[in-house]
Amino acid sequence: MGECIVAHLGDGDWIVVDSCLDTNSREPIALDYLKSMDIDVSSAVKLVVATHWHDDHIKGLAKVLRTAEGAKFVESIVFDQKLLMRLAKAGAMMGANASATDEYSAIFDILLARQQKGENPKTVGPFRAIANKPLLSLSTGRTVKAEVVALSPSDGTYNRAQTDLLEAIRFVTRERRRPASRQGPNQLCVALWLKVGEVRTILGADLEHAAGITEGWNAIVNSGERPQGQAEIFKVPHHGSLNAHSQECWTDLLRGRPIAVLTPYSPSKLPSQADIDRLCKQTNQLFVTGDHGRYKVPRLNQSVEKTLRESKVKRRALEGRMGHVRIRVDAREPNLLPTVELFNGAEPKCS
């Protein structure tokens, strides 16, 4: 499991969205990839984005930011209450499952070290994403214009988080009997709009579908202020799960039969075959970076297998190579068909 996206915005400028570690080198996969192409990460990467604080999206993110010395760090404007609690109790909480806390603390240290002269230390922190806020706009001295705009979280999600926080305070001060509700990290996600030349991409993060019209994908679809046009490329949200599916997203935000890419999430066995079937009704160009069922335990020779059996030793596959989907398109010639290349077991799903 693990998801990381690197996007070239043309003219040597890059962004990194989320992070995971290469299973062999244990390095952030984005750094391995960019360095393999001789890209100077310290100056070329303009944004490092944490879409949300789930383990499959953040491992190695601090190292990416440390290396990307010229990058802005972007995070949702809505702070994850659970992460906040964990940070407050950090000393006691450090342990096997505290990678979000560790990464966040390390990133905060980097931001503190980078504070400018004249900057109030209390104001140091991430560049905050909220729906329809431009995060990056590149135009002067370039062959193509490029922009990155946040599509979420919505104002509704932000307002709900404030209400939840007030309720949490009232619960602590005993003005309220029931504990406060809390939005999960997937609801607070930063989905992104990328436009390079005339090529548009939506990166759906793990943003879920919500019943309310001012939350989740509904809020994006219903927004009058969102960037205009339909995207040709789509990072399918939340590993293809049903609870992240918005039919209006496919019909309103995306062009007919876009190139769609998703990553698997092994602990929940996402995507399921039903998810794949549903997505293949939306597009015939669906690509998955890997298959959570693939990593079978290799068979050893007979006598070794027998000894292991007799000793009641059980084996399981811990890792395989990270799958990778690469989409290339000439931003100056949008009518040329994009090329899709598949590496390390990534595969098309609708053919």
List of residues contacting Zn ion (CB under 5 A): 56, 206
Least CB distance from residue 18 to Zn ion, whole Å? 8
Between 75 and 206, whose beta carbon lies closer to Zn ion?
206
Least CB distance from residue 100 to Zn ion, whole Å? 12
Between 2 and 156, whose beta carbon lies closer to Zn ion?
2
Tokens describing residue 34: 């960019």
Residue listed under structure tokens 């950090």: 90
Least CB distance from residue 167 to Zn ion, whole Å? 27
Between 126 and 185, whose beta carbon lies closer to Zn ion?
185
Compute, in degrees rounded to 10, the torsion defined by CA atoms 244, 250, 253, 256: 150
Give CA–CA dist 184/289, Å, rounded: 25
Beta strands (DSSP E) in the chain are 5-8, 14-17, 45-49, 72-76, 127-129, 134-138, 146-150, 192-196, 199-203, 231-235, 254-262, 286-288, 324-328, 339-343, 347-348
Give CA–CA dist 146/160, Å, rounded: 32
Least CB distance from residue 337 to Zn ion, whole Å? 30
Least CB distance from residue 190 to Zn ion, whole Å? 13
Between 5 and 286, whose beta carbon lies closer to Zn ion?
5
Tokens describing residue 278: 């549903």
Between 22 and 206, whose beta carbon lies closer to Zn ion?
206
Between 197 and 204, whose beta carbon lies closer to Zn ion?
204
Counts of helices then strands in the chain (DSSP H, E): 12, 15
Between 56 and 80, whose beta carbon lies closer to Zn ion?
56
Least CB distance from residue 3 to Zn ion, whole Å? 6
C-alpha 29 chain-centroid distance: 13
Output the CA–CA distances (angstroms, integers) from residue 340 to 237, 324, 329, in the order listed: 19, 10, 9
Strand 127-129 and strand 199-203: pairing?
Answer: unpaired
Strand 347-348 and strand 286-288: pairing?
Answer: antiparallel
Amino acid at 222: N
Least CB distance from residue 181 to Zn ion, whole Å? 22
Give CA–CA dist 192/151, Å, rounded: 5
Least CB distance from residue 191 to Zn ion, whole Å? 13
Asked if 279 and 271 count as a contact pair (C-beta separation under 8 A), the reply is: yes
Between 151 and 196, whose beta carbon lies closer to Zn ion?
151
Between 3 and 232, whose beta carbon lies closer to Zn ion?
3
Least CB distance from residue 290 to Zn ion, whole Å? 13
The 231-235 sheet, strands edge to edge: 134-138, 146-150, 192-196, 199-203, 231-235, 254-262, 286-288, 347-348
Amino acid at 54: H
